[in-house]
Amino acid sequence: MKRLFAVAALCMALATPAMAGDIAGAKAFVNKVATDVLNIVKQPTSKELQQAELMGLIDARVDIDFVAKFALGKHWRTATEAQRADYLNAYRPFLKKNYVSRLTRYSGQTFKVGAGRVDSDGSYVVNMDIVDPQGANVVMVYRMVDAPKNGGYRISDIVVEGVSLLATQRSEFNSIVTSKGLDHLIAALKKQTARKA
Amino acid sequence: MKNKNDVRRFNLALASVMMMALVGCAPANSDPAENDPMESINRGVFEFNQVVDNFVIEPVAKGYRYITPDPLRSRIGNVSDNLQEPLNMIHAFLQGDFDQGMVSFWRFALNSTIGIAGMNDVAASAGLERRSEDLGQTLAVWGVGEGPYVVLPLLGPSNLRDTTGTVGDWFIDPVNYAIDDTSTEIWVAGGQGIVKRERLIDVLDDVEESSLDPYVTLRSMYRQHRAAQVGNTGDGPLPSSGDVTE
């Protein structure tokens, strides 16, 4: 009986995120992530605590390894196993640090979740308007993949006014690897992460 | 009339400097996909711009942000935006987008009058949303490719098509004919430049802080942003995972 209960509970836990695989689910996910971010950055706590909480949120909501591989593009294929591991280890804190520094620059904006759709590659795309009380509104687009096994959606890219963070990083990395090599890029990532914000 | 001739001479000089830069350079060894055969020259101009920005333009933009309280600054921004509406209208029409052309027309008409010289964006409240159009975008709609990436002295990232657009718009812009005084035109353009730079403070600070190679980052951002403006979308490029499959 006990065992049956455990199986039923497991089934329910697995079924819930899988069912969430639709546009409404993607919009709800984006709404939740943005709400969580605002709740953290609006807290009157220490900066260190905010940063730690944001890091945890990014870990849970962003598909960091996908982003890392995509940012490296064609150079991922030619990298050795050791380089790949080294690169991923250097990239994860680099991405988190940069996201956190952007998010903590918060100054009173609010957001409105807009339309959503499924793209030809199967990723979910949700629009968001950032309403800035001091200036013009900003159009943001979240791109995410649905990964039921990992507990639901994972953000893969954020596009601001037509500029994709991922595509930008990809051309930057490509330029560095082409001219100076992958090891140089890995060293640069580590150096940038170690630099004080 | 004399002033107009001065402007023309200035622009011709600018254009010929550009052309010399374009013709007299050998392709650098960069990725053809980045569309930047003049990378070494561009990097030189970029370095120069960075120095000027650090010592002059950025301090002025930050000073402007510091001395203007928010409601005032957004009104100044609205005035600056409103002065671009006649150009937005012309280019929407030239691109065959009649509806957007009328939106720009009504925005200029309403904001210049009820909005008091453009200070208040009353048209946006009525659902008439601003959309920035220029000759570079019109040429793109007409099928002109972007041409090689160019970093212009002081003006920053551009490409051959958009540089042509910038020069051409100086002649097309009805506001320049309305002002009809070269030094005033330059002051207005300079003021609009500071308004624009102030809006970019956070973006450019972020690039400086997080980028491993700000030159490449800004090149990529410029190209993506222009592509989105031309297509009037905010979606950005579709990431293809094809490259990373193992």
Q: In angstroms, what separates the C-alpha of A143 from chain B's closest C-alpha?
A: 9
Q: In angstroms, what separates the C-alpha of A137 from chain B's closest C-alpha?
A: 11
* B238 touching chain A per CB within 8 A: yes
Using CA coordinates, name the residue in chain B closest to A132.
Answer: B74
Who among A70, A102, A133 is closest to B241 (CB)?
A70
pLDDT tens for residues B70-122?
Answer: 789 989 999 999 999 999 999 999 999 999 999 999 999 999 999 999 999 99
pLDDT tens for residues A88-125?
Answer: 999 999 999 988 888 888 878 889 998 888 888 888 99
Residue A186 neighbours by CB distance under 10 Å: 21
pLDDT tens for residues B180-231?
Answer: 888 999 999 999 999 999 989 988 998 988 899 999 999 999 999 999 999 8
Distance CA A161, CA A182 (A): 30
Q: In angstroms, what separates the C-alpha of A102 from chain B's closest C-alpha?
A: 7
Contact across the interface for A101 and B235, Cβ inside 8 Å = no
Give, rounded to a whole angstrom, the gap between the first and last alpha carbons of chain A.
55
Spatial CA neighbour of B34 closest among A171, A34, A46: A171
Spatial CA neighbour of A76 closest among B246, B36, B240: B246
Contact residues, chain A, for B40 at CB < 8 Å: none
Percent of chain B past pLDDT 70, that is, above it, reads: 82
Predicted TM-score (pTM) of the model is 0.82
pLDDT at A2: 57
Distance CA B181, CA B179 (A): 6
Spatial CA neighbour of A158 closest among A111, A93, A88: A111
Confidence of residue A78 (pLDDT cuts 50, 70, 90): very high
Confidence of residue B28 (pLDDT cuts 50, 70, 90): very low
Contact across the interface for B241 and A192, Cβ inside 8 Å = no
Who among B30, B74, B210 is closest to A101 (CB)?
B210
Using CA coordinates, name the residue in chain B closest to A186.
Answer: B212
Q: B38: which residues sit within 8 A by CB, 6+ positions away?
A: B21, B22, B25, B27, B28, B148, B149, B150
Look up residue A145 and give its two tokens: 């993949």
| Residues shown for chain B | 246
Q: In angstroms, what separates the C-alpha of B220 from chain A's closest C-alpha?
A: 5
Confidence of residue B242 (pLDDT cuts 50, 70, 90): very low
Who among A77, A162, A172 is closest to B212 (CB)?
A172
Who among A66, A143, A162 is closest to B233 (CB)?
A162
* A78 touching chain B per CB within 8 A: no
Contact across the interface for A141 and B236, Cβ inside 8 Å = yes
User: What are residue A30's phi and psi, to 5 degrees?
Assistant: -60, -40
